[in-house]
Chain A
């Protein structure tokens, strides 16, 4: 039997199940504690024979006394131990098609291994050696400084890079870990001994938590215990560091970076409390509506109606102790001010008019659908867990955020808009 075009009503959408009717479950982790007290959170999932192991140290720039020490200590941890050169270390991981990357953030710094699961046992002793016996060779540090300075010189030509640094400085202050950034002289000032000292305190004798996911090989906890579990980790109490915020008094900035530029980078931001604040979850829904997805108010107006930009987004920064609500776009040089005007117009709309039922339902369905899709796969699941655990939260937070999405009303959204979406609360920056 064939159906002809005449019988089909293409104007009518097929019936759908509202995504808000879906039950979302966050697959639980299994937790282990190694001999030295290092906690391991593991999610066994997936079909491919691959896995990830992430070692999270409390070694972000929160703890450094001098700009860039934390980042350099993290980056160069892979550039030599007393028995292996940087090349030998790289070769060790590359040979098996494995990938060992590292990342330095504000509170944390990480070492992440991605590998085919049968190679885990080969890699763990080498990772343990990196944590216990990195030597930070002077020539590696010299190359690092030079290459980072060169990379910085290229980035500083980009308006969006410059805007990203400056807006953080305005919101958090230049001396706060969330607002600090690097200049060439900060690289010049780096000393080998500083890195070694930082490394000893925050890696070798530091505080570590492990997140593992994928098709985990049998005996993987024993393997972790035999290597990482025997290191002197989690024994010493780390210093309690307090960083006062020092936001800028001035709110509006126009910066000229490239006289021949054809676009400006626009950033608007206001300080916002962290995930423990009761407004955090409901504001995620308001934010989605405002500028958090392709169908958002900002995108519909400024890209899809005016064509001022290739893309405009709003989001809450992923910080732990306190955060900021950010709006970010690049727009044609001559339409930057018009873009800002439209952003404020959309704030005003949200303050003055309750969102209608259809649009709210759409945002809810979109958000739930996204979470459903995002829980698909071991790395995504462990990513959710890591974010919860590092923020001092548990699965209740996940389920309450799902409930918030399902239940939030137009009235609550409008109230939140009236509480937060006022132009005078925002720092405003254009870098051209």
Chain B
């Protein structure tokens, strides 16, 4: 049971406090309700580029990192298709330093031309390091474009192409900031060795005076139900043939999401999962095989991906995957197997909640979903799922017309 208290400042900033007096540290986590899905299609990669610029100095403080490090702190941030999250950890005595730094960059950035120039290059190198200079690095660019025709999940967080990042202008940066980085669009979580009264005072003092800004109302194009199977074949300089297949799945707050989460564990969660046992160990069609999803807030993609054993015909491999998927639609999952994936979910949650930083992260995320309290009730949802629901959900998802298949073939 994760305890927390919640209050809202008059400018709309939500503040959550999670006390853990066993640690000497404090964590300050600021989540902004903006991700790559909020970008324009001709200006992608911006939410992530922006995350980098948040470290390039704010209106009253020339450098973010130095004062934090001087206070014995560390920080990092990440951007996803759904959100942008900043977090720092420091000795609890120096908590106010984090308030000072985080509130100033919520107030306004320095908007420095040099910082933009450098971070454009840094992000370009990140793009190359992760997506261009690695075998299979562009798979998700291709898969997202195939699977989504309307919804902005069709591009990756890093951006659709390098050009968008290289061409970013300072004016774009300013517009983006004032549209999305407002108190009413943010969630502040303060966790660790902290007192409620003091956190409330500090929040009022440092964040209270920030103008609330205009609440950004998200209105994204929704992905129409896919009516026809889509397929793509790519040949590239990679050593092995690889197989990728995705199916559209429910959004984060639907019951179907939790059911689908368990389906992915049954198919691909570890060495005793069905796909691994059947297709890697017994039939020896794949040398690696996984089933997963991204935990997306809007309708996401259930994914099966694997590398083929050399010499195996990819069509046969796909057929074998389809057979396993078909079983999910036609046969009830055994009670022990269902219990196994529920147990795994419980254990994963317990391990995740060990660190105070991870707890702060999760509280912010669940608050974004609507209620931080979900953190304490989600396990109950998983425990209530029945084998029948797994079968019904499988029938809905694993329709060939709902699928996107990518053959990523070795040219050698």
A94 lies within 8 A of B344 (CB): yes
Query: Closest CB-CB distance, B291 to chain A, in whole Å?
Result: 14
The one of A16, A116, A261 that contacts B133, using a Cβ cutoff of 8 Å: A261
B287 lies within 8 A of A369 (CB): no
A263 lies within 8 A of B347 (CB): no
B204 lies within 8 A of A263 (CB): no
Does residue B307 face the partner (Cβ distance < 8 Å to A)? yes
By a CB distance below 8 angstroms, the chain A residues around B65 are 294-295
| Given known A-B contacts A114-B351, A263-B125, A10 and B72 have beta carbons under 8 A apart | no
| Given known A-B contacts A14-B100, A157-B238, A262-B128, A3 and B208 have beta carbons under 8 A apart | yes
Does residue A241 face the partner (Cβ distance < 8 Å to B)? no
The one of A13, A90, A368 that contacts B72, using a Cβ cutoff of 8 Å: A368
B350 lies within 8 A of A150 (CB): no
By a CB distance below 8 angstroms, the chain A residues around B344 are 94, 97
Separation of A22 and B25 alpha carbons in the complex (Å): 12
Q: Which of B85-93, B227-235, B395-403 contacts A (4 or more CB under 8 A)?
A: B85-93
A307 lies within 8 A of B71 (CB): no
Query: Closest CB-CB distance, A132 to chain B, in whole Å?
Result: 21
Of B24, B126, B280, B340, most A-chain CB atoms within 10 Å: B24
B336 lies within 8 A of A307 (CB): no
Separation of A329 and B271 alpha carbons in the complex (Å): 33
A16 lies within 8 A of B284 (CB): no
A362 lies within 8 A of B66 (CB): yes
B125 lies within 8 A of A98 (CB): no
The one of A10, A143, A154, A368 that contacts B284, using a Cβ cutoff of 8 Å: A143
A95 lies within 8 A of B336 (CB): yes
Separation of A286 and B284 alpha carbons in the complex (Å): 51
Interface residues on A, range: 35 or more
A372 lies within 8 A of B205 (CB): no
B70 lies within 8 A of A362 (CB): yes
Mark out the residues of chain B between 1 and 46 whose CB falls within 8 Å of any chain A CB in the assembled complex: 20, 22-25
B353 lies within 8 A of A48 (CB): yes
Separation of A91 and B337 alpha carbons in the complex (Å): 9
By a CB distance below 8 angstroms, the chain B residues around A47 are 20, 22, 354
Does residue A225 face the partner (Cβ distance < 8 Å to B)? no
Interface residues on B, range: 35 or more
By a CB distance below 8 angstroms, the chain A residues around B354 are 46-48, 50, 377, 379
Query: Closest CB-CB distance, A205 to chain B, in whole Å?
Result: 27
By a CB distance below 8 angstroms, the chain A residues around B351 are 48, 50, 114
Residues 142-181 of A, flagged 1 when their CB comes within 8 A of B and 0 if not, give 0100110011011011110000000000000000000000
Separation of A157 and B132 alpha carbons in the complex (Å): 12
Separation of A361 and B66 alpha carbons in the complex (Å): 11
Does residue A332 face the partner (Cβ distance < 8 Å to B)? yes
Separation of A98 and B347 alpha carbons in the complex (Å): 7
The one of A94, A115, A262, A305 that contacts B340, using a Cβ cutoff of 8 Å: A94
Residues 329-347 of B, flagged 1 when their CB comes within 8 A of A and 0 if not, give 0000000100110011111
Mark out the residues of chain A between 1 and 41 whose CB falls within 8 Å of any chain B CB in the assembled complex: 2-5, 8, 10-11, 13-17, 19, 22
Of A2, A13, A99, most B-chain CB atoms within 10 Å: A13
Mark out the residues of chain A between 268 and 319 whose CB falls within 8 Å of any chain B CB in the assembled complex: 293-295, 303-310
A373 lies within 8 A of B89 (CB): yes
B208 lies within 8 A of A2 (CB): yes
| Given known A-B contacts A16-B94, A19-B71, A307-B119, A10 and B104 have beta carbons under 8 A apart | yes
A95 lies within 8 A of B339 (CB): yes
Of A147, A309, A373, most B-chain CB atoms within 10 Å: A373
B100 lies within 8 A of A303 (CB): no
Does residue B381 face the partner (Cβ distance < 8 Å to A)? no
Query: Closest CB-CB distance, B211 to chain A, in whole Å?
Result: 9
By a CB distance below 8 angstroms, the chain B residues around A159 are 133
| Given known A-B contacts A97-B344, A263-B125, A304 and B74 have beta carbons under 8 A apart | no
A158 lies within 8 A of B135 (CB): yes
The total number of A-B Cβ pairs within 8 Å is: 222
Separation of A15 and B238 alpha carbons in the complex (Å): 55
Does residue A321 face the partner (Cβ distance < 8 Å to B)? no
A377 lies within 8 A of B309 (CB): no
Does residue A231 face the partner (Cβ distance < 8 Å to B)? no
List the A residue with the shortest CB-CB distance to B27: A373
Does residue A424 face the partner (Cβ distance < 8 Å to B)? no
A151 lies within 8 A of B288 (CB): yes
The one of A95, A150, A309 that contacts B122, using a Cβ cutoff of 8 Å: A309
The one of A17, A87, A262, A307 that contacts B91, using a Cβ cutoff of 8 Å: A17
Separation of A78 and B71 alpha carbons in the complex (Å): 46
Separation of A158 and B134 alpha carbons in the complex (Å): 6
Interface of A is mostly: mixed
A97 lies within 8 A of B69 (CB): no
A365 lies within 8 A of B240 (CB): no
A97 lies within 8 A of B280 (CB): no
A376 lies within 8 A of B355 (CB): yes
A310 lies within 8 A of B122 (CB): yes
By a CB distance below 8 angstroms, the chain B residues around A99 are 347
Mark out the residues of chain A between 23 and 74 whose CB falls within 8 Å of any chain B CB in the assembled complex: 46-50
A307 lies within 8 A of B287 (CB): no
B129 lies within 8 A of A13 (CB): no
By a CB distance below 8 angstroms, the chain B residues around A377 are 354-355
Query: Closest CB-CB distance, A154 to chain B, in whole Å?
Result: 6
Does residue A420 face the partner (Cβ distance < 8 Å to B)? no
Does residue B213 face the partner (Cβ distance < 8 Å to A)? no
A147 lies within 8 A of B61 (CB): no
| Given known A-B contacts A143-B280, A150-B310, A373-B89, A262 and B133 have beta carbons under 8 A apart | yes
A362 lies within 8 A of B205 (CB): no
List the A residue with the shortest CB-CB distance to B89: A373
Query: Closest CB-CB distance, B109 to chain A, in whole Å?
Result: 13
By a CB distance below 8 angstroms, the chain A residues around B70 are 16, 361-362, 365-366
A263 lies within 8 A of B240 (CB): no
Residues 49-77 of B, flagged 1 when their CB comes within 8 A of A and 0 if not, give 00000000001110001110111111000
Separation of A146 and B354 alpha carbons in the complex (Å): 37
A369 lies within 8 A of B74 (CB): yes
Query: Closest CB-CB distance, B237 to chain A, in whole Å?
Result: 7
By a CB distance below 8 angstroms, the chain B residues around A154 are 135-136, 238-240, 307
Does residue A330 face the partner (Cβ distance < 8 Å to B)? yes
By a CB distance below 8 angstroms, the chain A residues around B119 are 307
Separation of A295 and B89 alpha carbons in the complex (Å): 16
Does residue B117 face the partner (Cβ distance < 8 Å to A)? yes
Does residue A86 face the partner (Cβ distance < 8 Å to B)? yes
Query: Closest CB-CB distance, B282 to chain A, in whole Å?
Result: 9
The 7 tightest CB contacts between A and B, nearest first, are A369-B72, A307-B121, A97-B347, A19-B72, A97-B343, A90-B272, A5-B209
The 7 listed contacts between A and B (C-beta, < 8 Å) are: A87-B277, A157-B239, A158-B135, A303-B118, A307-B117, A365-B69, A372-B24
Given A114-B351, A330-B133, 10 other A-B residues pairs in contact with their CB atoms under 8 A: A3-B205, A3-B208, A13-B67, A14-B100, A47-B354, A48-B354, A116-B346, A262-B133, A263-B132, A376-B23
Task: Name B residues whose Cβ lies closer than 8 Å to a Cβ of A.
Answer: 20, 22-25, 59-61, 65-67, 69-74, 89-91, 93-94, 96-97, 99-100, 103-104, 107, 117-126, 128-129, 132-136, 204-206, 208-209, 237-240, 269-273, 277, 280-281, 284, 287-288, 307, 309-310, 336, 339-340, 343-348, 350-351, 353-356
Task: Name A residues whose Cβ lies closer than 8 Å to a Cβ of B.
Answer: 2-5, 8, 10-11, 13-17, 19, 22, 46-50, 78, 86-87, 90-91, 94-99, 114-116, 143, 146-147, 150-151, 153-154, 156-159, 258, 260-263, 293-295, 303-310, 330-332, 361-363, 365-366, 368-370, 372-373, 376-377, 379
